[in-house]
Amino acid sequence: MLNLYSFLTSAAYAASYPWLKSKYAVGFDERRGIYAKEKCLDNPIWVHAVSVGEVQAAIPFISEVKKTKNFPPKNSPKKISGADDIKILLSTTTQTGANFAGQMNAECDAHIYYPWDLKRFVSRALDSLKPRAYISVETEIWPQMLAELRARNIPAFLINGRISDKSFKRMSAFPSFWRSVFSCFTSIMVRDGQDARRLESLGILPEKISVTGDCKIDAMRERKSQCAHLQAIERSAPIFVAGSTHPGEEEQVIEAFGILRSKIPGAKLMIVPRHPERAREVGGMTSQIGATAYYSEFDGVEFLSEKNTWEFLIVDRIGVLFCLYGIAESVFIGGSLVPKGGQNLMEPALFGVPACHGQYMSDFRHVSDEFCSLGISKIIYTAEEIADFWLGGMDENFRRETARLSENWFAERGGAAEKCRDIILLKKRFTD
């Protein structure tokens, strides 16, 4: 199966080479395993996080590794050799992931673009980078890379692992292949019991799997303090947020806001498209309810305290949505009315803000099921239902109860990044 995979990926690369060279002009050489000398660190730990969401999960793990002193924990006799000198190499696939890592001041020692999963590119990258270990985040499972790591006796780990409904269905069709792929990992750390059970059903040894929780919870807690300046601003009107929206959702959101505005005339709506380059396209849709849109990379203070004439604000900047959830009365989570897998429900919940979303939440199924059962979020299907939910979000008792339930949920979770660090650094490869 690996040979077939290698043949198909090589053929796909050859056929799509002109398109790939154009689309991935930034970092093109790095994607072929060619790296500048200054990026070839001294036996680094290589952390791969494909884009913004994965980088968010990786940051607290990287922080835990970098602040490691007097490791290991008290009840372990093992010692780490040179823990303070561990170098972190962070790779992403997307530019937005790289930009987000920069905005969040990720404590990595170098950034690269991830090599395409062809044997010659992977081998060239490993020859140059010489990692002491490889850590993949969430769903980044590349068979050729993992096979080459195993051949070189380089330990590989999966942290914050999640097996979505779609991924599980695909893997279940070829269980022997995926069993061999996952066997390349030294340890697999997953978010919850459902992820663990799905891996075990594929034949992965239970002793290889650890349930450590979600590193994104640690990341969000760290980021929340950065939003205090926005939350402190006194606003003249209620604000609603539609986050990470896709085509087919903005029309519904704008229609919903038209209904809401007829009942709350001063209300404001921020739409944050999943792809910022669609901002003008989305703004043009506001004419359906006779409104004009502002466009902004968003200076929060300016647009909340001074420019109070806007009704719609289309935000075309990566990395600000998290804080915008914190100033909303209630929100809509995009990627869920259309089959895109949904987005991170935990972000508005951390601020105690009520959230609604569509039925397509496969990438966050476990959390969405829990939140819906607790009353922290709600599934909606139509523009009218979005409007009704937003209107309900104005009720102080409802908001207070949502905040209480959310706070209790987060209080029971967290610490995943430290758990992942301990599992990885206590492996024999890193100890004397």
pLDDT digits (tens, 9 = 90+) for 175-230: 999 999 999 999 999 998 999 999 999 999 999 999 999 998 998 888 888 888 77
| pTM, entire model | 0.74
What confidence tens digit (pLDDT) does each residue in 404-417 have?
999 999 988 889 99
The first and second tokens of residue 55, run together, are 């980088």
Q: Is the previous residue joined to 348 through a cis bond, with omega within 30 degrees of 0?
A: no
> What is the structure's pLDDT at 76?
47
- For the chain, the residue count is 432
User: Within 10 Å of residue 261's Cβ, how many Cβ atoms?
Assistant: 18
Q: HEC profile for 133-197?
A: EEEEECCCCCHHHHHHHHHCCCCEEEEEECCCHHHHHHHHHCHHHHHHHHCCCCEEEECCHHHHH
Spatial distance between the Cα atoms of 243 and 145, rounded to a whole number of angstroms:
34
Spatial distance between the Cα atoms of 41 and 227, rounded to a whole number of angstroms:
34
Edge-to-edge strand ranges of the sheet holding 377-379: 293-296, 312-315, 268-273, 239-245, 331-333, 355-357, 377-379
Spatial distance between the Cα atoms of 368 and 356, rounded to a whole number of angstroms:
10
**Quick one: what percent of the chain has pLDDT higher than 90?**
68
Contact (Cβ atoms closer than 8 angstroms) between residue 338 and residue 363: no
Ordered domains of the chain (ranges, CATH): 14-214+414-430 (3.40.50.11720), 224-411 (3.40.50.2000)
Tell me: pLDDT of 96 over 50. Answer: yes
- Mean pLDDT (the chain) is 88
